Amino acid sequence: MDHATLTLLEQLISRRSITPDDAGCQALIAARLAAIGFECHCLPFGPADGVVDNLWAVRRGAAEGPTLVFAGHTDVVPTGPLEQWQSDPFVPTHRDGRLYGRGAADMKASLAAMVVAVEEFVAARPDHAGRIAFLLTSDEEGPSVDGTVRVCDWLAARGERLDACIVGEPTSVQHLGDMVKNGRRGSLSGRLRVRGIQGHIAYPDLARNPIHQALPALAELAATRWDAGNEHFPPTSWQISNAHAGTGATNVIPGEFVLDFNFRFSTESTPEDLQARVEQVLRRHGLDFEIQWTLSGRPFLTRPGRLLDALSGAIRRVTGRHTELSTTGGTSDGRFIARICPEVVEFGPLNASIHKIDEHGEVADLGPLKEIYRLTLQEMLA
């Protein structure tokens, strides 16, 4: 058992860091990093009544070399109904070889393993080459507007050069190390308002039903093949997430139909092209509409190179597994880091219980996870 990683993980879980509250997690990590020579910058961003905590910490080596960043988030999602948890989500609890608590998998286990890996590496190689850095935020599970994206802007303004980054998202599926994310799809959302004319349902000739008008266009959008994807990304998908119309009465034709939808798009499409194609369909169907667009992130891809070679080699040495590279799943803060860093990958523990009641992680995986991070550091910066 890796007692050092387990102890730190238990300390982090004990902090009730529901987004965007960091609850002291970053202060705990910063103190440990400062003790081994890191220069720590606390970067609060956001409105005064909801400040987001961010940390940029960097240790300069004795010789030239790349900058390797460990990135992650200290915030966790809300617990859901407490009565459905078998134990308090902020009291680390062991059962059957698993550690239960909110953040045990997403993603405080990765943070604890990263910190201990760096401590061990620096103790063995205080004169390492290059730089080691941490980029942490408490705004990943929330709107993600005052977290990593703001830190990346701050780093760019300072002229900081980042070469490689490991984001500690839980990527493993069946066994530790079986999957690494080497990219993510882009995310483009829209809120569509279709205007009609409200009226009595018995006199449809005196009204205009926006739902009826919108349905043929929506059917066309749902059936559209936006692109074929490529060797790294599945085809772009369009999905409706919410729809609302009506007053609640059964005898009133609504005057407006509001629809939320989202694209998860590959590198074969651009947000500008997707927006234009959607609006072209809506206009062709003669709708009176407006759309508010929100681009949450563009797709990114890290091809095999120094970072992926080092990480996959470390996984193979520790677990004996040949990892699968994947770009599936949702978005992560990697989309922001990829704007200023050429090699960004995500790797962490099992993801089966993330965001669920009784979130947990395998205690036996903590040591191997830490060792994979340490060996990757050794390969990149020794």
The catalytic site residues sit at 75, 140
Given a contact cutoff of 8 angstroms between Cβ atoms, the answer to whether 57 and 133 are in contact is yes
Nearest to 367 by CA among 28, 26, 57, 97: 97
3 state SS for 217-255: HHHHHHHCCCCCCCCCCCCCEEEEEEEEECCCCCCEECC
CA–CA separation, 348 and 325 (whole Å):
13
Nearest to 256 by CA among 268, 265, 247, 266: 247
Cβ atoms within 10 A of the Cβ of 74, count? 31
Q: How many Å is the maximal CA-CA distance in the chain?
A: 82
CA–CA separation, 141 and 135 (whole Å):
15
Which residue type does 329 have? G
CA–CA separation, 373 and 120 (whole Å):
11
Q: Is 84 helix (H, G, I), strand (E, B) or coil?
A: helix
Q: What are phi and psi of 361, to 5 degrees?
A: -140, 155
User: CA 7, 8, 9, 13: dihedral to nearest 10 degrees?
Assistant: 100
Cβ atoms within 10 A of the Cβ of 125, count? 15
Given a contact cutoff of 8 angstroms between Cβ atoms, the answer to whether 48 and 60 are in contact is no
Rg (CA), the chain: 24
Given a contact cutoff of 8 angstroms between Cβ atoms, the answer to whether 281 and 223 are in contact is no
Distances (CA, A) of 377 to 167, 180, 313, 318: 14, 17, 12, 14
